[in-house]
Copies of this chain bind each other. A is one copy, B any other.
Amino acid sequence: MVYGQLFTAIEKHVKLTEVEKDIIRSCSSVKKLRKHQYLLQEGNIAHTENFVIKGCLRSYEVNEKGQEHVIQFSVEEWWVGDLLSFLTEQPSNYNIDCLEDCELIQFTKADLNRLYDEVPKVERYFRILLQNAYIATSQRLLSAMSKTAVEQYAAFIKKYPHIERRITNKQIASYLGITPESLSRVRKQYIAPSKT
């Protein structure tokens, strides 16, 4: 039942047999976390990659100057984790906490390597997933470099209207790389697109 969302997500890219689904089930586990709990804290190694069944998480980094930067918000049907730490098994620079009560499907590195070998389609799925993530991040980078704060906010609202209602403006500001004060001013200028 909980796996339905995961299989649907995977099957957008590759078809799975029942046997393969069973292997995937056996190579993962379900985890529940409450609001404010941490999935990962700076200095720890990310032992899992996680698929979100329910809830909303934020990944952020605290830089040398003490500033927090939100890297990503993750909601239902998205993946969350620190890929770098997961792959290298080195301590993470990221913090990931729950903005709402959450339910996740977790895969360890061993799980995933076993899956790659036993179900090559999963490796294909992850290649495609990474292609998309890479493209999305490249576009976000370009957007961050060339757009004003207003343009970025407008682009964010357009792209994530659903997420926008679930998180505070302070978090959005951190994601956009501007201060909460600036976002507040930006929001006054910004004419919201008409409600549905």
Contact = CB atoms under 8 A, between A and B. Distances in A.
A35 interface: no
**How many copies of this chain sit in the oligomeric assembly?**
2
A114 interface: no
Contacts of A124: 116, 123
Interface stretch (A19-27, A62-70, A158-166, A185-193): A62-70
Size category of the A interface is 20 to 34
Contacts of A142: 61, 63, 69, 71
Contacts of A44: none
A131 B65 contact: no
Interface in A38-65: 61, 63, 65
Contacts of A61: 142
